[in-house]
Amino acid sequence: MGVLEKITSNQELRSWPGEIPLENLYTMGLAGERFFRGIKDEAKLLGTRCKTCDVTYLPPRIYCQGCFEKLVNWVDLPPQGKLETFTILNQDRAGRPYKTPRILGLVRIDRSEGALIHYIQGLEPQKIRIGMKLKAQFRSSSERKGSIQDIVGFVPA
Ligand SMILES: [Zn+2]
């Protein structure tokens, strides 16, 4: 196929089977590294605070998105918050029904502008209410690996 060849129908497209070896490495970044170390090592949620804008970021940021100030004030945030919204899952991604429905919620973490999406546990779906207080339930220290999965889910506070 020449450079000047113009394909006007997708039936004319040609392909060559093969593989391209690609490897990717994504880092958590400075703020993510510290955030997940806080979860892993101390079972706590860390945020960063911009005093100028009176904003506390969770997950933390190293620069304020409002004023672009470098953020150096790290704060411990309570591992709890209010349920902002939720959805009930009745089947997995393959369409197989769950024995017990699973609940995913957006929990606005207290004293921050941030929120985490996670499983809501310990509640029947019909008892869940927007605005209810929930707290994070962490895995034991020996089970934590430095990921959001170190939180098992949020349960009623
Ligand atoms: Zn700011």
Separation of alpha carbons 34 and 5, rounded Å: 53
pLDDT reading at 29 higher than 60? yes
> What does the pLDDT average to over 4-16?
78
Per-residue HEC secondary structure of 51-101 comes to CCCCEEECCCCCECCCCCCECCEEEEECCEEEEEEEEEEEECCCCCEEEEE
Sequence letter at residue 131: G
pLDDT reading at 58 higher than 80? yes
Please tell me the pTM assigned to this model: 0.81
Express each pLDDT in 127-157 by its tens digit.
999 999 999 999 999 999 999 999 999 999 9
Sequence letter at residue 97: P
The domain locations on the chain are 29-156
Which CATH number fits the domain 29-156, given the four candidates 3.10.180.10, 2.40.50.140, 3.40.50.720, 2.60.40.420?
2.40.50.140
Separation of alpha carbons 39 and 28, rounded Å: 14
CA of 71 to the centre of ligand 1 (A): 8
In a 13 Å sphere around the CA of 154, the CA atoms on its Cβ side amount to: 28
Note the pLDDT of residue 145. 97
CA of 1 to the centre of ligand 1 (A): 54
Note the pLDDT of residue 4. 73
CA of 29 to the centre of ligand 1 (A): 20
3-state secondary structure (DSSP) of residue 125: helix
3-state secondary structure (DSSP) of residue 40: helix
Confidence of residue 10 (pLDDT cuts 50, 70, 90): confident
Note the pLDDT of residue 26. 87
Express each pLDDT in 71-126 by its tens digit.
999 999 999 999 999 999 999 999 999 999 999 999 999 999 999 999 999 999 89
Q: Which residues are CB-neighbours of 76 under 8 A, at least 6 positions away?
A: 44, 45, 46
CA of 55 to the centre of ligand 1 (A): 7
